[in-house]
């Protein structure tokens, strides 16, 4: 009987030691980020591959396509929670760029064709600080990636035009 008890104790000790050895992963996204798990994997892949490749998008899309997470149509409701459209995924506004190194932020700015250096008063090139680059990235994204409003159909246009004409006649 005593040998059985010691065996049980050993197994419980090993289970607890395994759970304690897990380390917390650093969260690279904002707390308010509304990206699902595949989108987070995609954005994380982009930042890691960006260090080695000039164009990380095809590599990350291919790696997620292998696991059947990429879906450009999103018409199937069955797996919609676990799939995403990479062209509609907004990584820049969901990154917590303050947690990234300056080099990573500079690479992201280069990819977006944002200058990473400026001329000072003595006409010497100096790199922007990290906070300045983050502000430039966000403003650039908001400026150029606004969603376009849907065009009105012809019938709606004619109705709105006729309303304008009646208002001007009065």
Report pLDDT digits (tens) over 14-67. Answer: 444 444 545 667 788 998 988 888 889 999 999 999 999 989 999 988 888 887
- For the cut 50, the answer to whether the pLDDT of residue 101 exceeds it is yes
Residue range(s) defining the domain that contains residue 135: 97-146
Structural domain count, the chain = 2
Whether residue 14 is contained in a domain is answered as: no
Q: Compute CA distances 17 → 24, 50, 60, whole Å.
A: 15, 36, 35
Q: Could you tell me the sign of the dihedral formed by the alpha carbons of 65, 70, 72, 76, in that order?
A: positive
User: Do 56 and 111 fall into the same domain?
Assistant: no
Whether residue 49 is contained in a domain is answered as: yes
User: Do 140 and 88 fall into the same domain?
Assistant: no
Phi, psi of 82 (to 5 degrees): -105, 5
| Percent above pLDDT 90 for the chain | 40
User: Do 125 and 78 fall into the same domain?
Assistant: no
User: Do 73 and 115 fall into the same domain?
Assistant: no
Residues ≥6 apart with Cβ < 8 Å to 26: 99
User: Do 42 and 54 fall into the same domain?
Assistant: yes
User: Do 123 and 85 fall into the same domain?
Assistant: no
Per-residue pLDDT averaged across 151-170, rounded? 54
User: Do 40 and 81 fall into the same domain?
Assistant: yes
User: Do 79 and 101 fall into the same domain?
Assistant: no
Whether residue 137 is contained in a domain is answered as: yes
User: Do 117 and 72 fall into the same domain?
Assistant: no
User: Do 103 and 142 fall into the same domain?
Assistant: yes
Structure tokens at 110: 């280069």
User: Do 89 and 103 fall into the same domain?
Assistant: no
Nearest alpha-carbon partner for 29 in 92, 108, 103: 92
Whether residue 46 is contained in a domain is answered as: yes
Whether residue 102 is contained in a domain is answered as: yes
Nearest alpha-carbon partner for 41 in 82, 98, 93: 82
Model confidence at 113, in pLDDT bands (50, 70, 90)?
Answer: very high
């Amino acid at each position: 009987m005593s040998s059985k008890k010691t065996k049980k104790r050993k197994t419980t000790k090993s289970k607890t030691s395994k759970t304690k050895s897990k380390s917390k992963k650093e969260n690279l996204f904002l707390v308010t980020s509304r990206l699902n798990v595949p989108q987070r994997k995609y954005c994380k892949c982009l930042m890691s591959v960006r260090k080695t490749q000039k164009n990380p998008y095809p590599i990350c899309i291919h790696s997620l396509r292998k696991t059947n997470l990429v879906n450009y149509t999103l018409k199937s409701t069955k797996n919609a929670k676990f799939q995403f459209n990479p062209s509609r995924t907004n990584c820049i506004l969901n990154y917590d760029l303050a947690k990234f190194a300056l080099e990573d932020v500079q690479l992201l700015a280069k990819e977006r064709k944002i200058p990473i250096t400026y001329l000072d008063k003595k006409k010497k090139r100096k790199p922007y600080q990290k906070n300045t680059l983050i502000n430039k990235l966000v403003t650039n994204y908001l400026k150029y990636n606004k969603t376009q409003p849907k065009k009105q159909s012809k019938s709606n246009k004619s109705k709105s035009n006729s309303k304008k004409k009646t208002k001007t006649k009065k």
